[in-house]
Amino acid sequence: MTYREATGWLFAQRRQGERGLSRIRILLERLGHPEEAFQAVHVLGTNGKGSVVAYLEAAFRAAGLPYGAYTSPHLLDFRERIRTHQGLILEEEVVGFVAWARGEAWPEPPGFFDLATALAFQHFQKRGVALAAVEAGVGGEKDATNILPRVALTVLTNVGEDHLEALGGSLEAVAREKAGAFRKGVPVVTGARGVGLEVVREMARTRGSPLYLLDPLDPLFALPAPPALKGAFQEENARLAAAALRLLGFPEEAIAQGLREARHPGRLERFLLEGVEVYLDGAHNPPAALALSREFSAYHLVFGAFPRKDVKGVLAHLLPKARSVRYTRAGEGALGRELGEPFFEDPWEALEEAVKAAQGDGVPVLATGSLYLVGALRARLLPRFGQDPP
């Protein structure tokens, strides 16, 4: 079996039945419970999870810790999701896991995320990981990552309107699902506000979880160095990560280095193409789109999205500052011409046309709406700058 065949099989696996932990529990039992081998920081929230993990990962590395990091989705290669102090998971390890999983008889066939999560935890055990930063997929309480038995600290970035249908249909239900992953007595760091914060307070009180609310004036949330990731909205993510690291006992030098050296591709990522600034960002829900739009006075927009996303809500924040817009298909299964006109089947063609328009007025190009769109464009942009996709 080749690596391409293995990942193709993984991507084709669909969860059967309700969301929950039964499938991941069986997977991990058969693997000998690798999840018990390491401590974890469980990172939850509507937006900013990946950025918080990026800061944590960089600080773990600066401290010389044998660490793991598990995030989703990937941009170019499945292996981006599973990282340790020794780099990305190896292709042959992915192939070996898939060969094993395909040969097992499952009472409830595990879905893609169940399988990816089990593979990550097995990999962390093999690499001797001491502490892992683990990003939840969707929600919290019923997410496969909530199987983690040794959570040292929980970060809940925020609560916003994304995956509403899957998580109960209201902001309060979303908050309850995410806060449902709080552990008894385990500290929680959060930037939640409004209705979400009310639910968070209630759940933390019920679980006996010490709650630390984001406050820029609180020394716990101080930034010892300027955050590497661009965008005003990244300051909150950096402060949450810094607080988490302090509560975990990391030295200030490691925290500062982590803030300076964090990398998170596809989030307000800048390229220069034919003299034009091109920004790629994976914003795909209204709160993220609003935060992103505030970073610009104007732009030429390239937009693609998937069904079940609040496309109207996202575009309501993006279109007012768009000098022009080009819609495109973000990937397989993404929305097409129904998004609007002009529509380009090929994202690269849409980007090239936007760049031509931008050459006339000096305004940057912003490509957003989906991380899959960002991944497709990065795959074409990186070789132009002497970088190979992972």
The residue to which tokens 């069904």 are assigned: 307
Tell me what pLDDT residue 338 has: 96
SS3 324: strand
Cβ atoms of 167 and 138 within 8 Å: the answer is yes
pLDDT of residue 171: 84
Enumerate residue ranges in the chain where pLDDT < 70.
161-169, 385-390
CB burial string 190-222: b at 16+ within 10 A, e below: bbbeeebbebbeebbeebebebbbbeeeeeebe
User: How far apart are the C-alpha atoms of 48 and 289, rounded to whole Å?
Assistant: 12
Structure tokens at 242: 């810094």
pLDDT of residue 389: 45
